[in-house]
Chains A and B, each alone.
Chain A
Amino acid sequence: MLKNRIIPCLDVKNGRVVKGINFVDLKDAGDPVEQAKIYSEGGADEICFLDITASNENRDTIYEVVEKTSKKCFVPLTVGGGVRSVDDINKLLNCGADKVSINTAAVQNADVVYDSSKKFGSQCIVVAIDAKKKGEMWEVFTHGGRNKTGINALEFAKKMEDSGAGELLVTSMDRDGTQLGYDIDLMSKISSTVNIPVIASGGVGNLDHLVDGIKLGNANAVLAASIFHYGKYTIKEAKEYLKSKNVLVRL
Protein backbone atom coordinates (compact mmCIF):
# COMPACT_ATOMS: atom_id res chain seq x y z
CA MET A 1 0.00 0.00 0.00
CA LEU A 2 1.07 3.56 -0.67
CA LYS A 3 2.06 5.36 2.52
CA ASN A 4 1.21 8.90 3.55
CA ARG A 5 4.23 11.16 3.46
CA ILE A 6 5.57 13.34 6.25
CA ILE A 7 7.48 16.29 4.85
CA PRO A 8 9.50 18.63 7.06
CA CYS A 9 10.03 22.03 5.50
CA LEU A 10 13.05 24.23 6.09
CA ASP A 11 13.08 27.95 5.41
CA VAL A 12 16.36 28.93 3.82
CA LYS A 13 17.54 32.52 3.61
CA ASN A 14 20.82 33.52 1.97
CA GLY A 15 21.89 29.88 2.12
CA ARG A 16 21.19 29.49 5.84
CA VAL A 17 18.30 27.91 7.69
CA VAL A 18 16.10 30.29 9.62
CA LYS A 19 14.20 28.83 12.54
CA GLY A 20 16.37 25.72 12.50
CA ILE A 21 16.25 22.52 14.47
CA ASN A 22 16.91 23.12 18.11
CA PHE A 23 19.35 20.31 18.73
CA VAL A 24 22.31 20.92 20.97
CA ASP A 25 24.60 18.45 19.26
CA LEU A 26 24.39 20.20 15.90
CA LYS A 27 27.74 21.44 14.72
CA ASP A 28 26.17 24.20 12.71
CA ALA A 29 22.50 24.82 13.37
CA GLY A 30 22.19 27.08 10.38
CA ASP A 31 23.49 24.60 7.86
CA PRO A 32 20.64 23.33 5.67
CA VAL A 33 22.67 20.32 4.55
CA GLU A 34 23.17 19.09 8.08
CA GLN A 35 19.55 19.65 9.01
CA ALA A 36 18.24 17.91 5.91
CA LYS A 37 20.47 14.98 6.77
CA ILE A 38 19.04 14.76 10.28
CA TYR A 39 15.53 14.74 8.88
CA SER A 40 16.26 12.11 6.27
CA GLU A 41 18.04 9.89 8.78
CA GLY A 42 15.07 10.35 11.11
CA GLY A 43 12.72 8.95 8.50
CA ALA A 44 11.41 12.01 6.65
CA ASP A 45 9.74 10.84 3.46
CA GLU A 46 10.81 13.92 1.61
CA ILE A 47 12.58 17.17 2.41
CA CYS A 48 11.33 20.58 1.40
CA PHE A 49 13.41 23.75 1.16
CA LEU A 50 11.64 27.06 0.89
CA ASP A 51 14.00 29.77 -0.30
CA ILE A 52 12.97 33.04 1.32
CA THR A 53 15.99 35.00 0.14
CA ALA A 54 14.70 38.46 -0.55
CA SER A 55 17.36 39.94 -2.79
CA ASN A 56 18.22 38.75 -6.25
CA GLU A 57 21.97 38.96 -5.61
CA ASN A 58 21.79 36.16 -3.11
CA ARG A 59 19.62 33.86 -5.21
CA ASP A 60 22.57 31.71 -6.20
CA THR A 61 23.05 30.57 -2.62
CA ILE A 62 20.10 28.20 -2.91
CA TYR A 63 21.76 26.38 -5.82
CA GLU A 64 24.80 25.69 -3.70
CA VAL A 65 22.64 24.44 -0.85
CA VAL A 66 20.68 22.12 -3.14
CA GLU A 67 23.84 20.80 -4.72
CA LYS A 68 25.42 19.97 -1.38
CA THR A 69 22.25 18.49 0.09
CA SER A 70 21.54 16.23 -2.85
CA LYS A 71 24.96 14.65 -2.44
CA LYS A 72 24.11 13.67 1.13
CA CYS A 73 20.36 13.06 1.15
CA PHE A 74 18.86 10.13 -0.68
CA VAL A 75 15.20 10.93 -0.23
CA PRO A 76 13.30 13.28 -2.55
CA LEU A 77 14.15 16.96 -2.26
CA THR A 78 11.62 19.63 -3.18
CA VAL A 79 12.73 23.23 -3.58
CA GLY A 80 10.51 26.29 -3.84
CA GLY A 81 10.61 30.04 -3.43
CA GLY A 82 11.41 32.59 -6.09
CA VAL A 83 11.02 30.17 -8.98
CA ARG A 84 10.07 32.33 -11.94
CA SER A 85 10.85 30.50 -15.14
CA VAL A 86 11.55 27.22 -16.89
CA ASP A 87 15.21 28.20 -16.72
CA ASP A 88 15.05 28.55 -12.90
CA ILE A 89 13.50 25.07 -12.71
CA ASN A 90 16.15 23.65 -14.98
CA LYS A 91 18.91 25.09 -12.79
CA LEU A 92 17.42 23.68 -9.58
CA LEU A 93 16.95 20.23 -11.13
CA ASN A 94 20.50 20.27 -12.43
CA CYS A 95 21.73 21.04 -8.94
CA GLY A 96 19.98 17.94 -7.66
CA ALA A 97 16.44 18.99 -6.69
CA ASP A 98 13.94 16.24 -7.47
CA LYS A 99 10.93 18.52 -7.57
CA VAL A 100 10.46 22.24 -7.86
CA SER A 101 7.51 24.09 -6.43
CA ILE A 102 6.10 27.08 -8.28
CA ASN A 103 3.87 29.65 -6.67
CA THR A 104 3.56 33.21 -7.99
CA ALA A 105 4.81 32.37 -11.47
CA ALA A 106 2.12 29.68 -11.85
CA VAL A 107 -0.59 32.24 -11.14
CA GLN A 108 0.88 34.86 -13.42
CA ASN A 109 1.51 32.51 -16.29
CA ALA A 110 0.20 28.93 -16.40
CA ASP A 111 2.49 28.31 -19.38
CA VAL A 112 5.41 28.01 -16.96
CA VAL A 113 3.68 24.96 -15.49
CA TYR A 114 2.69 23.60 -18.88
CA ASP A 115 6.11 24.11 -20.48
CA SER A 116 8.12 22.81 -17.55
CA SER A 117 5.99 19.70 -17.08
CA LYS A 118 6.32 18.95 -20.79
CA LYS A 119 10.05 19.48 -20.62
CA PHE A 120 10.94 17.79 -17.33
CA GLY A 121 7.87 15.64 -16.65
CA SER A 122 4.93 16.28 -14.32
CA GLN A 123 6.64 14.27 -11.59
CA CYS A 124 8.92 17.17 -10.73
CA ILE A 125 6.45 20.04 -10.97
CA VAL A 126 4.65 21.00 -7.76
CA VAL A 127 2.32 23.97 -7.73
CA ALA A 128 2.16 25.74 -4.37
CA ILE A 129 -1.20 27.37 -3.72
CA ASP A 130 -1.51 29.95 -0.93
CA ALA A 131 -5.18 30.42 -0.17
CA LYS A 132 -7.26 32.48 2.22
CA LYS A 133 -10.93 32.09 3.06
CA LYS A 134 -13.13 34.80 1.59
CA GLY A 135 -16.84 34.36 2.22
CA GLU A 136 -17.77 30.96 0.80
CA MET A 137 -14.63 30.57 -1.31
CA TRP A 138 -10.88 30.56 -0.91
CA GLU A 139 -8.86 33.19 -2.71
CA VAL A 140 -5.40 32.57 -4.17
CA PHE A 141 -2.61 34.87 -3.01
CA THR A 142 0.83 35.39 -4.54
CA HIS A 143 4.18 36.89 -3.56
CA GLY A 144 4.42 35.02 -0.30
CA GLY A 145 0.86 35.89 0.64
CA ARG A 146 1.16 39.61 0.03
CA ASN A 147 -0.92 40.02 -3.11
CA LYS A 148 -4.51 38.96 -3.60
CA THR A 149 -5.60 37.74 -7.00
CA GLY A 150 -9.37 37.30 -6.86
CA ILE A 151 -8.84 33.75 -8.19
CA ASN A 152 -10.88 30.91 -6.70
CA ALA A 153 -8.47 28.33 -5.25
CA LEU A 154 -10.56 25.32 -6.30
CA GLU A 155 -10.77 26.51 -9.90
CA PHE A 156 -7.07 27.32 -9.87
CA ALA A 157 -6.23 23.85 -8.52
CA LYS A 158 -8.10 22.23 -11.40
CA LYS A 159 -6.42 24.53 -13.89
CA MET A 160 -2.98 23.60 -12.53
CA GLU A 161 -3.77 19.90 -12.80
CA ASP A 162 -4.82 20.43 -16.41
CA SER A 163 -1.63 22.42 -17.06
CA GLY A 164 0.51 19.46 -16.01
CA ALA A 165 1.27 19.89 -12.30
CA GLY A 166 2.19 16.58 -10.68
CA GLU A 167 1.22 17.62 -7.17
CA LEU A 168 -0.34 20.52 -5.30
CA LEU A 169 1.11 21.98 -2.12
CA VAL A 170 -1.81 23.75 -0.47
CA THR A 171 -1.19 26.28 2.30
CA SER A 172 -3.98 27.87 4.29
CA MET A 173 -2.92 31.43 4.99
CA ASP A 174 -5.57 31.68 7.69
CA ARG A 175 -3.91 28.86 9.59
CA ASP A 176 -0.23 29.33 8.73
CA GLY A 177 1.73 30.12 11.88
CA THR A 178 -1.30 29.72 14.18
CA GLN A 179 -0.63 26.13 15.31
CA LEU A 180 -4.42 25.59 15.14
CA GLY A 181 -4.22 22.82 12.55
CA TYR A 182 -4.73 22.63 8.80
CA ASP A 183 -7.78 24.17 7.17
CA ILE A 184 -9.46 20.77 6.76
CA ASP A 185 -12.31 22.12 4.69
CA LEU A 186 -9.92 23.65 2.16
CA MET A 187 -7.75 20.52 1.96
CA SER A 188 -10.63 18.10 1.47
CA LYS A 189 -12.32 20.30 -1.14
CA ILE A 190 -9.13 20.64 -3.16
CA SER A 191 -8.36 16.95 -2.78
CA SER A 192 -11.76 15.99 -4.17
CA THR A 193 -11.46 18.54 -6.99
CA VAL A 194 -8.25 17.12 -8.46
CA ASN A 195 -6.91 13.64 -9.20
CA ILE A 196 -3.28 14.48 -8.41
CA PRO A 197 -1.77 14.18 -4.91
CA VAL A 198 -2.31 17.03 -2.45
CA ILE A 199 0.18 18.08 0.23
CA ALA A 200 -1.41 19.89 3.18
CA SER A 201 0.44 22.82 4.72
CA GLY A 202 -0.08 25.62 7.22
CA GLY A 203 -1.04 25.52 10.86
CA VAL A 204 0.31 22.33 12.39
CA GLY A 205 0.69 22.64 16.17
CA ASN A 206 0.46 19.04 17.30
CA LEU A 207 0.48 15.50 15.98
CA ASP A 208 -3.31 15.18 15.85
CA HIS A 209 -3.26 17.90 13.23
CA LEU A 210 -1.20 15.64 11.00
CA VAL A 211 -3.72 12.83 11.52
CA ASP A 212 -6.59 15.17 10.67
CA GLY A 213 -4.86 16.45 7.54
CA ILE A 214 -4.73 12.93 6.17
CA LYS A 215 -7.93 11.42 7.56
CA LEU A 216 -10.27 14.39 7.31
CA GLY A 217 -8.49 16.58 4.77
CA ASN A 218 -7.75 13.61 2.48
CA ALA A 219 -4.24 14.93 1.90
CA ASN A 220 -1.70 12.45 0.56
CA ALA A 221 1.15 14.12 2.36
CA VAL A 222 1.48 16.51 5.27
CA LEU A 223 4.04 19.27 5.47
CA ALA A 224 5.09 20.91 8.70
CA ALA A 225 7.84 23.23 9.81
CA SER A 226 7.88 24.47 13.38
CA ILE A 227 6.79 21.31 15.21
CA PHE A 228 9.92 19.63 13.89
CA HIS A 229 12.30 22.59 13.98
CA TYR A 230 12.01 23.29 17.64
CA GLY A 231 12.48 19.70 18.58
CA LYS A 232 8.90 19.46 19.85
CA TYR A 233 8.59 16.18 18.00
CA THR A 234 10.97 14.10 15.97
CA ILE A 235 9.91 12.71 12.62
CA LYS A 236 9.92 9.26 14.15
CA GLU A 237 7.61 10.28 16.98
CA ALA A 238 5.24 11.83 14.49
CA LYS A 239 5.18 8.70 12.37
CA GLU A 240 4.69 6.41 15.32
CA TYR A 241 1.79 8.53 16.49
CA LEU A 242 0.21 8.47 13.04
CA LYS A 243 0.59 4.72 12.94
CA SER A 244 -1.13 4.39 16.33
CA LYS A 245 -4.05 6.30 14.78
CA ASN A 246 -4.18 3.84 11.88
CA VAL A 247 -2.65 6.19 9.35
CA LEU A 248 -0.41 4.31 6.91
CA VAL A 249 3.17 5.56 7.18
CA ARG A 250 6.62 4.28 6.31
CA LEU A 251 8.38 3.23 9.49
Chain B
Amino acid sequence: MKVTIVDYKSGNISSVINSFREVAKNKVNIEVTADLNKIKSSDKIVLPGQGSFKSCVDALNNINGLVDTLNKFAISDKKPLIGICVGLQMFADIGYEETETKGLGWISGNVSKIDNQNGKYKLPHIGWNQINIIKESKILKDIENNSHMYFVHSYEFIPNDKNVISATIDYSSNIVCAVEKDNIFGTQFHPEKSDKIGLKIINNFINL
Protein backbone atom coordinates (compact mmCIF):
# COMPACT_ATOMS: atom_id res chain seq x y z
CA MET B 1 0.00 0.00 0.00
CA LYS B 2 1.10 3.52 -0.72
CA VAL B 3 0.01 6.57 1.26
CA THR B 4 0.93 9.93 -0.23
CA ILE B 5 1.33 13.12 1.74
CA VAL B 6 0.70 15.90 -0.73
CA ASP B 7 3.61 18.31 -0.58
CA TYR B 8 2.15 21.40 -2.21
CA LYS B 9 4.43 23.85 -0.37
CA SER B 10 1.78 24.81 2.17
CA GLY B 11 4.26 25.33 4.97
CA ASN B 12 5.76 23.03 7.50
CA ILE B 13 4.80 19.39 7.03
CA SER B 14 7.78 17.72 8.73
CA SER B 15 5.73 16.65 11.73
CA VAL B 16 3.07 15.11 9.51
CA ILE B 17 5.74 13.17 7.62
CA ASN B 18 7.48 12.03 10.83
CA SER B 19 4.27 10.82 12.44
CA PHE B 20 3.02 8.91 9.41
CA ARG B 21 6.44 7.27 9.00
CA GLU B 22 6.49 6.36 12.69
CA VAL B 23 3.08 4.67 12.40
CA ALA B 24 3.74 3.07 9.02
CA LYS B 25 7.12 1.65 10.08
CA ASN B 26 8.27 -0.41 7.10
CA LYS B 27 4.92 -1.93 6.36
CA VAL B 28 3.39 0.94 4.43
CA ASN B 29 5.11 3.13 1.92
CA ILE B 30 4.78 6.82 2.81
CA GLU B 31 5.46 9.05 -0.16
CA VAL B 32 5.84 12.82 0.08
CA THR B 33 5.27 14.48 -3.27
CA ALA B 34 3.22 16.75 -5.50
CA ASP B 35 3.87 14.60 -8.56
CA LEU B 36 0.48 14.02 -10.19
CA ASN B 37 1.24 10.52 -11.43
CA LYS B 38 2.45 9.42 -8.03
CA ILE B 39 -0.68 10.87 -6.42
CA LYS B 40 -2.89 9.06 -8.96
CA SER B 41 -1.24 5.74 -8.19
CA SER B 42 -1.64 6.14 -4.41
CA ASP B 43 -4.07 4.19 -2.29
CA LYS B 44 -4.62 6.99 0.20
CA ILE B 45 -3.89 10.66 0.39
CA VAL B 46 -3.01 13.01 3.23
CA LEU B 47 -3.72 16.67 2.63
CA PRO B 48 -1.95 18.78 5.25
CA GLY B 49 -2.31 22.54 5.49
CA GLN B 50 -0.74 25.34 7.48
CA GLY B 51 -0.99 29.09 7.24
CA SER B 52 -4.11 30.73 5.91
CA PHE B 53 -7.00 29.24 3.93
CA LYS B 54 -6.12 31.54 1.05
CA SER B 55 -2.40 30.71 1.05
CA CYS B 56 -3.17 26.97 1.03
CA VAL B 57 -5.74 27.21 -1.77
CA ASP B 58 -3.33 29.39 -3.77
CA ALA B 59 -0.56 26.85 -3.22
CA LEU B 60 -2.80 24.02 -4.47
CA ASN B 61 -3.77 26.03 -7.55
CA ASN B 62 -0.13 26.87 -8.22
CA ILE B 63 0.57 23.28 -9.13
CA ASN B 64 -0.88 22.66 -12.55
CA GLY B 65 -3.46 19.87 -12.56
CA LEU B 66 -3.25 19.17 -8.82
CA VAL B 67 -6.81 20.18 -7.94
CA ASP B 68 -8.20 18.09 -10.83
CA THR B 69 -6.12 15.12 -9.69
CA LEU B 70 -7.38 15.48 -6.12
CA ASN B 71 -10.97 15.85 -7.33
CA LYS B 72 -10.69 12.65 -9.33
CA PHE B 73 -9.06 10.79 -6.44
CA ALA B 74 -11.53 11.84 -3.75
CA ILE B 75 -14.76 12.49 -5.63
CA SER B 76 -14.79 10.30 -8.77
CA ASP B 77 -12.65 7.37 -7.60
CA LYS B 78 -13.78 7.70 -3.98
CA LYS B 79 -10.41 6.73 -2.54
CA PRO B 80 -9.63 7.59 1.11
CA LEU B 81 -8.30 11.07 1.81
CA ILE B 82 -7.65 12.84 5.09
CA GLY B 83 -7.31 16.60 5.46
CA ILE B 84 -5.52 17.99 8.50
CA CYS B 85 -6.14 21.51 9.87
CA VAL B 86 -6.37 23.84 6.83
CA GLY B 87 -6.33 20.62 4.79
CA LEU B 88 -9.76 19.90 6.29
CA GLN B 89 -10.92 23.50 5.96
CA MET B 90 -10.27 23.46 2.22
CA PHE B 91 -13.05 20.86 1.81
CA ALA B 92 -15.45 23.82 2.17
CA ASP B 93 -17.03 25.82 -0.67
CA ILE B 94 -15.63 29.05 0.62
CA GLY B 95 -13.23 30.48 3.21
CA TYR B 96 -13.12 33.97 4.68
CA GLU B 97 -9.53 34.17 5.91
CA GLU B 98 -7.65 37.18 4.46
CA THR B 99 -10.19 37.47 1.67
CA GLU B 100 -13.10 35.44 0.32
CA THR B 101 -11.56 32.39 -1.34
CA LYS B 102 -13.12 29.43 -3.11
CA GLY B 103 -12.35 26.05 -1.56
CA LEU B 104 -12.48 22.55 -3.03
CA GLY B 105 -16.22 22.31 -2.45
CA TRP B 106 -16.17 18.66 -1.37
CA ILE B 107 -18.21 19.23 1.78
CA SER B 108 -20.63 22.09 1.47
CA GLY B 109 -20.03 24.85 4.02
CA ASN B 110 -17.77 27.74 4.87
CA VAL B 111 -14.70 28.54 6.97
CA SER B 112 -15.10 31.53 9.28
CA LYS B 113 -13.19 33.12 12.13
CA ILE B 114 -13.98 31.72 15.56
CA ASP B 115 -16.12 34.16 17.55
CA ASN B 116 -13.80 35.29 20.36
CA GLN B 117 -16.72 36.96 22.17
CA ASN B 118 -15.04 40.35 22.43
CA GLY B 119 -11.70 39.01 23.58
CA LYS B 120 -13.08 36.52 26.07
CA TYR B 121 -11.47 33.71 24.09
CA LYS B 122 -7.89 34.03 22.90
CA LEU B 123 -7.09 33.33 19.28
CA PRO B 124 -5.41 31.32 17.91
CA HIS B 125 -7.07 28.52 19.84
CA ILE B 126 -3.81 26.84 20.86
CA GLY B 127 -3.42 23.78 23.00
CA TRP B 128 -5.08 20.58 24.10
CA ASN B 129 -8.84 20.37 24.02
CA GLN B 130 -11.19 17.46 24.65
CA ILE B 131 -13.11 16.16 21.69
CA ASN B 132 -16.75 15.27 21.95
CA ILE B 133 -17.44 12.37 19.61
CA ILE B 134 -20.97 12.72 18.27
CA LYS B 135 -20.93 10.15 15.49
CA GLU B 136 -19.13 6.91 14.89
CA SER B 137 -16.23 7.51 12.56
CA LYS B 138 -13.74 5.09 11.05
CA ILE B 139 -10.76 7.24 11.92
CA LEU B 140 -11.95 7.67 15.52
CA LYS B 141 -12.19 3.92 16.02
CA ASP B 142 -11.13 2.95 19.56
CA ILE B 143 -10.66 6.61 20.49
CA GLU B 144 -12.33 7.36 23.79
CA ASN B 145 -14.78 10.19 24.04
CA ASN B 146 -13.25 13.30 25.69
CA SER B 147 -9.75 12.41 24.52
CA HIS B 148 -7.36 15.35 24.30
CA MET B 149 -6.12 16.53 20.92
CA TYR B 150 -3.73 19.33 20.02
CA PHE B 151 -5.20 22.34 18.23
CA VAL B 152 -3.84 25.49 16.70
CA HIS B 153 -6.22 27.54 14.56
CA SER B 154 -8.29 30.71 14.47
CA TYR B 155 -10.86 29.65 11.89
CA GLU B 156 -13.54 26.96 12.00
CA PHE B 157 -15.25 24.85 9.37
CA ILE B 158 -19.04 25.21 9.43
CA PRO B 159 -20.57 22.49 7.26
CA ASN B 160 -24.14 22.92 6.00
CA ASP B 161 -25.00 19.27 6.52
CA LYS B 162 -24.45 18.54 10.21
CA ASN B 163 -24.44 14.80 9.49
CA VAL B 164 -20.83 14.98 8.32
CA ILE B 165 -19.65 16.06 11.78
CA SER B 166 -18.06 13.27 13.78
CA ALA B 167 -16.63 15.31 16.67
CA THR B 168 -16.73 18.80 18.14
CA ILE B 169 -14.90 20.77 20.80
CA ASP B 170 -16.05 23.43 23.19
CA TYR B 171 -14.26 26.73 22.61
CA SER B 172 -16.45 29.79 22.52
CA SER B 173 -19.08 27.57 20.89
CA ASN B 174 -19.26 24.02 19.58
CA ILE B 175 -16.57 23.91 16.96
CA VAL B 176 -16.33 21.14 14.39
CA CYS B 177 -13.10 19.21 14.86
CA ALA B 178 -13.61 16.01 12.85
CA VAL B 179 -15.65 15.25 9.77
CA GLU B 180 -16.36 12.15 7.72
CA LYS B 181 -18.20 12.00 4.44
CA ASP B 182 -17.95 8.68 2.64
CA ASN B 183 -14.23 8.33 1.80
CA ILE B 184 -13.31 11.87 2.89
CA PHE B 185 -12.02 12.48 6.42
CA GLY B 186 -10.78 15.56 8.16
CA THR B 187 -9.47 16.71 11.51
CA GLN B 188 -9.14 20.29 12.66
CA PHE B 189 -6.72 19.14 15.34
CA HIS B 190 -3.24 17.85 14.62
CA PRO B 191 -3.12 14.07 15.09
CA GLU B 192 0.60 14.24 14.30
CA LYS B 193 1.11 16.36 17.44
CA SER B 194 -1.48 14.71 19.67
CA ASP B 195 0.78 12.17 21.28
CA LYS B 196 -0.07 8.46 21.25
CA ILE B 197 -3.77 9.02 20.78
CA GLY B 198 -3.09 11.10 17.69
CA LEU B 199 -0.86 8.41 16.25
CA LYS B 200 -3.74 6.01 16.77
CA ILE B 201 -5.93 8.13 14.50
CA ILE B 202 -3.18 8.06 11.88
CA ASN B 203 -3.03 4.30 12.31
CA ASN B 204 -6.80 4.07 11.84
CA PHE B 205 -6.52 6.00 8.60
CA ILE B 206 -3.63 3.91 7.29
CA ASN B 207 -5.55 0.73 8.13
CA LEU B 208 -8.83 1.78 6.50
Q: Which of A1, A74, A167, A195 contacts B126 (CB 8 A)?
A: A167
Shortest beta-carbon distance, A117 to chain B, in Å? 9
Are A2 and B14 touching (Cβ within 8 A)?
no
Tell yes or no: B52 within 8 A of A by CB.
Answer: yes
The proximity string for B residues 34-47 relative to A, scoring 1 for CB distances below 8 Å and 0 otherwise, is: 00000000000000
Which residue of chain B has its CB nearest to the CB of A249?
B128
Which residue of chain A has its CB nearest to the CB of B123?
A195
Among A89-97, A149-157, A169-177, A178-186, the stretch that binds chain B is A89-97
Tell yes or no: A61 within 8 A of B by CB.
Answer: no
Q: Which of A74, A123, A167, A220 contacts B19 (CB 8 A)?
A: A74
Are B12 and A1 touching (Cβ within 8 A)?
no
A1 touching B22 in the complex, CB below 8 Å, given contacts A96-B15, A98-B12, A197-B124: no
On chain A, which size bracket covers the interface?
A: 20 to 34
Tell yes or no: B203 within 8 A of A by CB.
Answer: no
A2 touching B125 in the complex, CB below 8 Å, given contacts A74-B22, A120-B51: yes
Query: In the bound complex, how far is the Cα of B92 from the Cα of A111, in angstroms?
Result: 32
SS class, residues of chain A in contact with chain B? loop
Which residue of chain B has its CB nearest to the CB of A89?
B12
Are B193 and A95 touching (Cβ within 8 A)?
no
Using Cβ atoms and an 8 Å threshold, which residues of chain A touch B55?
A: 121
The proximity string for A residues 1-15 relative to B, scoring 1 for CB distances below 8 Å and 0 otherwise, is: 111110000000000
Using Cβ atoms and an 8 Å threshold, which residues of chain B touch A94?
A: 12, 14
Tell yes or no: A30 within 8 A of B by CB.
Answer: no
Q: Which of A1, A195, A220, A221 contacts B129 (CB 8 A)?
A: A1
Query: In the bound complex, how far is the Cα of B19 from the Cα of A98, in angstroms?
Result: 13
Q: Which of A40, A45, A96 contacts B127 (CB 8 A)?
A: A45
